[in-house]
Amino acid sequence: MSAQTSMLHIRVDDDIKEQATVALSAMGLSMSDAVRLFLRRVVIDQAFPLELKVPNAETLAAMEESRAMMAKGRAGFATVDELLADLEKNSQA
């Protein structure tokens, strides 16, 4: 005797869906498998299966800076070398 099932419809960004599909496929899972697994963990643990945190002030500032940069239509760094140099400079604090 098979369990009765129902359809679940969700909306996700096309890029996220594509990237997740590739990653899940590499793990041998379909998108449906992953959603079923997620929901099963919610039921078993009676909790959200991922750690959720309120961002601290530093993280919020970085998120805002990133949004402002994206709104201006630029990534902030012209090259990877420029990004790495900035990370190195700022990590020496």
User: Mean pLDDT over residues 24-35, rounded?
Assistant: 93
- Coil, strand or helix: which one is 88? helix
Whether residue 48 is found in the same domain as residue 16: yes
Residue span of the structural domain in which 38 resides: 1-52
Whether residue 31 is found in the same domain as residue 61: no
Amino acid found at 25: S
Whole-number pLDDT of residue 30: 94
Kindly report each contact of residues 32-40 with a partner whose C-beta sits within 8 Å and lies 24 or more positions away, as own/partner: 35/8, 35/10
Domain count across the chain: 2
Q: Is the pTM of this model over 0.85?
A: no
Residues 6 or more apart in contact with residue 49 via CB below 8 angstroms: 38, 41, 42
Whether residue 39 is found in the same domain as residue 62: no
Please check whether residue 7 is in contact with residue 14, taking contact to mean a CB–CB distance below 8 angstroms: no
pLDDT digit string, tens, across residues 2-29:
689 899 999 999 999 999 999 999 999 9
